[in-house]
Amino acid sequence: MTYLEGSGKEFAGPPLLLEQLDADPLRQFLAWYQEAQRVETGDPTAVALATSSREGRVRSRMVLLKAIDERGFLFFTNYGSRKGRDLADNPQGAFSCFWPASMRQVCVRGAVEKTAVEESAAYFESRPVLSRLSAWASPQSEPIPPERSFLEDRLQQVQERFSSGHVPLPPHWGGYRLIPDEVEFWQGRSNRLHDRFHYVRVPGGGWKVERLAP
Ligand SMILES: Cc1cc2nc3c(=O)[nH]c(=O)nc-3n(C[C@H](O)[C@H](O)[C@H](O)COP(=O)(O)O)c2cc1C
């Protein structure tokens, strides 16, 4: 057995109090995200997204959150990828993010829906042209030949195909919206006595908030 050594850093963050929290966890997330944007050195939009197959086999990977609206959290990907296939079979997901400088974690769980094609197209159009071409070129999550030239050749082919300039939204690519029914805000505190507040959506509207033991 090899014991792993972390930074050993104490999570000595400020208190998190129930009365500081917004009644809406999406607004609360946005407030924490805006603070993270100021103080984090890494990308504060990076989250570990978990999905599960029909049989209940779970997988996680990083994605970037690209938007939040009153319904949920948006991320974009290839609909034919492993996560896309999981979500077609079981439209439930969860993600966590960790903002180390703030000593904060947020964990979210809920149903996942595809965004409207217009929403996917609007975001796709905003991406740099090479990212748009890569979305056409890469059969995300499929096994491919070991040589990188396979991908470079595919990129060249799509560059030729769209040489007129306009790179449209690929039919296999777009957004998902995770519509939360549970959100937890975790603030690291000293001596491992962290502050945790857990929101659960109440049928009929609103949220119930409970403190959880660390
Ligand atoms: C920080 C980070 C952000 C990422 N963001 C995305 C993203 O927004 N969308 C995406 O499809 N893949 C993203 N990836 C790649 C995924 O982690 C993953 O490799 C890919 O989506 C295929 O996952 P799957 O085979 O489980 O579907 C990101 C990777 C990292 C490390």
**49, 59, 63: residue to mutate for ligand 1 pocket, most atoms within 8 A of CB:** 63
What is the total count of domains within the chain? Answer: 1
Please indicate, yes or no, if residue 65 is contained in any of the structural domains.
yes
- Please give the distance, rounded to the nearest whole angstrom, from the Cα atom of residue 47 to the centre of ligand 1: 10
The pLDDT assigned to 7 comes to 86
Residue 180 within a domain: yes
CA-51 nearest atom, ligand 1:
26
71 within a domain of the structure (yes/no) = yes
Active site residue 57: no
Flag whether 51 is in a domain. yes
| Distance from Cα 112 to the centre of ligand 1, integer Å | 16
Residue 163, in any domain of the structure: no
Q: Which atom of ligand 1 approaches the CA of 66 most closely?
A: 8
Task: Extract the tokens encoding 1.
Answer: 């057995």
pLDDT tens over the chain, length 214 residues? 999 999 888 888 999 999 999 999 999 999 999 999 999 999 999 999 999 999 999 999 999 999 999 999 999 999 999 999 999 999 999 999 999 999 999 999 999 999 999 999 999 999 999 999 999 999 999 999 999 999 999 999 999 999 988 999 999 999 999 999 999 999 999 999 999 999 999 999 999 999 999 9
Catalytic residue among 82, 192, 196, 201: 192
Residue 120's domain spans which residues? Answer: 18-125+170-212
Calpha distance 59→81 (Å, rounded): 12
Cα(211) to centroid(ligand 1), Å = 32
Residue 22 covered by a domain? yes
Query: Do the domain assignments include residue 89?
Result: yes
What would the pLDDT profile of 172-202 be if each residue is shown by its tens digit? Answer: 999 999 999 999 999 999 999 999 999 999 9
Supply the CATH number for residue 177's domain: 2.30.110.10
Residue 86 CA, closest ligand 1 atom number: 27
pLDDT of residue 57: 98
